[in-house]
Structure 1
């Protein structure tokens, strides 16, 4: 066999192996890793360099994720105003940054008011309305969008502003990633027993066990070396994030199945949309903030 034939054979073997992994895990491994590294670098640069840049990054990602979910709702027959929901979401994030928890709650009220009025005005303009009129359902879908994306993401904005807050946000993201990686590796190599076949067919109990081990191990390490907290705080963080990340992933899968979409978008190669990557982080931000609040960091 010539050198060219050997290279072609190796390429074919690698392609077949990647296809098997993609079929079992539900994503392109190469593009998923490459995209993850790029966005991981942007995240670390903004978080550890200037906190204000991180807040701007959060606001930008929230805006894109809001547009993704609003567009997905439209596929499901619900007209959620994309511009209105973005304005509302940015009000919530801004409130959290400038005025803390109270500002975030006031921002949720004001953002919800803006979104509701925007949709009501759209309903009065015949050129903007698409029959049948579903104002009430559309408004509640929009309010869900604001809470699910912007309000939950704002907990990361609150967290980054406490003492050593950048490391708490770093711990949040790293533990969420460890849950994802642990579940992925264990699920691909050992996965046999389906966890939620009707919601997320690729999830297995073996993957959940791998995610649990990875989350607690990473939680202990990052708690000791980055957060300067006792090791048992890392165990608590690992357990909390295990359930919030898994629950967030399943929640988004349920939303997508209900709306009849595979991914929220295709903007991130190997990952789908921004919301497809935020699904585990959003509820986990609340969980980590809660742990920090209980132990007196916040």
Structure 2
């Protein structure tokens, strides 16, 4: 897909993160100049090496609009993705940071903005089956991540105004090349023998390869209707166990055979969460309700709206993504 003729320069938050790094590659390859918000010299080096222009600052900086000067669009990818007990830092990043970023973009005269959210905003611990975008946000979110990201969505959409269009995308289970988050943790857990299936792992999940995330963001930036939310995935769901097994195989690892009952894990998460709260975080639960809701039940999404309104379709298949990961893992290091 060609980049929008309207966007020759865009401002990106979270540029040194997994999604952000790939967004820089995606947009610079199409001739768009990317200005990336960075909080450290190391992050600035990362985004500069990828072809972006670093702008040193913080999500809550009062002068953030200065860094957006000359940009036409915003992509907000920064987030505190911790799935543990809620913290003031997570509220600061996900909620107050989002508020300041979008208010600054409006003040700077940007015309378009894409907020990268997550299907987690809908999670409450129950299965989410073939959900569409009109599925309501739960009264009791699964955890602090779901709660803060859901509120961040509300804030971003509330700041849409004439001349400042705001679109939200929600990918699910982001994976693929250059993954420095989920895959390394999964591989380490499997290698240590600590990984187990939940009720055998025979339930479905939607997934979103990082290339498809980038395509979804670009489509939303070009074609998304202001005030609307769009799911972005790899297309048809896959069995959770089958997908995780394939991911591990790309790293030369065997999937486990052991399994734990879902009811036991849910009870552990519930009791562990209560003990964490009572001890003010001194006692740590082996699994949080947020983690349970994310990985222990079916979570599948309907992307009909993105296909219809954005013209979105996956640019890489699950099989191609897995082959790419396997090739990268077996490639001799230089």
Normalising by structure 2, we get a TM-score of 0.27
Q: Computing the radius of gyration over CA atoms, which structure comes out larger, 1 or 2?
A: 1
Normalising by structure 1, we get a TM-score of 0.29
